[in-house]
């Protein structure tokens, strides 16, 4: 299925929103719950599957949706269609700070691999599926990099990354990365994991037991603040269940923690 052609505009800096312009009868697909606003005459419908294979049948759509649920995503994707007579706009944003990366799939060979929670929205006709790393080492120890999403087609797709985004072009080099810092890479990149230094470095270095290795010829997108890292820090500094919240940097806060036995 040929993808719908989308025009778009990205607003903001650290908490970005992408606004998609739809011609009459044009459709954009998105993850559930990421819509911010939309014009009148845009209708939305939750559907099983991405709509890239209209003749897939109910069972095929159910299998595809079940695979998405395995990654922790919703069973359904939301389809937004312009049913009006003129151009209409609908906007999307991710639920945490970061950047939105527009990817023209034909420019990366028609396919890109991304972290399982990176996909935001795409033109109708884009196939959204899951893929597993083929190597057992990456499967057992790769962390966020074990289950990946594959976006394929001939249109625009938008992925979201946390913090600052860095785009790197590899020309045969090898890049070692924390698994959570990988946003996406194209099909010319080989992905694997390897041990993070010697045993002392692995257990006491603070960088985890293993690092991802990316090598080959192609494009890699990296993020400075994976959501998992942000969530871990928030949990570490959150007040205990049932406890009172005290100022982090105040004298009373420190005194309160002493009294509580912290």
CA angle centred on 107, ends 102 and 48, rounded to 5° = 60
DSSP state of 69: H
Among the ranges given (23-32, 84-93, 203-212, 220-229), the one the predictor scored with the smallest mean pLDDT? 203-212
List the helix and strand counts (H, then E) for the chain.
5, 17
Q: What is the pLDDT of residues 105-123, one digit of tens each?
A: 999 999 999 988 899 999 9
158 CB neighbour count, 10 Å cutoff: 26
The pTM of this model reads 0.77
Q: Say if CB 31 and CB 74 are below 8 A apart.
A: yes
d(CA 250, CA 146): 42
Assess whether pLDDT exceeds 60 at residue 179. yes
d(CA 161, CA 180): 10
Question: Which tokens sit at 121?
Answer: 């929205």
Using a CB cutoff of 8 Å and minimum separation of 24, what contacts does 50-59 make? 50/77, 50/122, 50/124, 50/126, 50/127, 50/128, 51/1, 51/27, 51/77, 51/79, 51/124, 51/125, 52/1, 52/124, 52/125, 52/126, 52/127, 52/128, 52/153, 53/1, 53/127, 54/1
**pLDDT value of position 145:** 52
Rg over alpha carbons for the chain, rounded to the nearest Å, is 21
Q: What is the pLDDT of residues 55-79, one digit of tens each?
A: 655 555 555 555 555 555 667 889 9
Q: What is the pLDDT of residues 201-250, one digit of tens each?
A: 545 545 556 788 899 999 999 999 887 776 666 777 777 655 554 444 44
Write down all domains in the chain, each with its CATH number in brackets.
7-227 (3.60.160.10)
Residue 192 bridge partners (DSSP): 213
């Amino acid at each position: 299925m040929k993808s719908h052609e989308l025009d778009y505009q990205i607003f903001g800096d650290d908490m970005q929103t992408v606004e998609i312009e739809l011609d009459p009868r044009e459709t954009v697909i998105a993850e559930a719950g990421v819509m911010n606003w939309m014009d009148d005459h845009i209708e939305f419908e939750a559907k099983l599957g991405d709509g890239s294979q209209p003749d897939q049948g109910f069972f095929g759509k159910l299998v595809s949706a079940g695979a998405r649920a395995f990654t922790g995503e919703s069973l359904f994707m939301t389809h937004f269609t312009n049913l009006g007579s003129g151009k209409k706009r609908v906007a999307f944003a991710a639920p945490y700070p970061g950047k939105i990366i527009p990817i023209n799939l034909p420019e990366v060979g028609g396919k890109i691999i991304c972290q399982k929670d990176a996909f935001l929205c795409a033109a109708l006709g884009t196939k959204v599926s899951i893929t597993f790393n083929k190597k057992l080492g990456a499967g057992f120890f790769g962390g966020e990099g074990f289950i990946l999403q594959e976006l394929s087609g001939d249109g625009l797709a938008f992925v979201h990354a946390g913090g600052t985004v860095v785009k790197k072009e590899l020309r045969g080099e090898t890049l070692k990365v924390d698994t959570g810092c990988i946003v996406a890479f194209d099909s010319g990149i080989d992905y694997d994991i390897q041990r993070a230094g010697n045993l002392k470095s692995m257990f006491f270095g603070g960088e985890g037991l293993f690092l991802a290795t990316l090598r080959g010829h192609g494009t890699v997108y990296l993020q400075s603040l994976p959501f998992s890292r942000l969530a871990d820090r928030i949990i570490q500094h959150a007040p205990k269940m049932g406890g009172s919240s005290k100022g982090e940097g105040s004298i009373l806060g420190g005194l309160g923690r002493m009294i509580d036995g912290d």
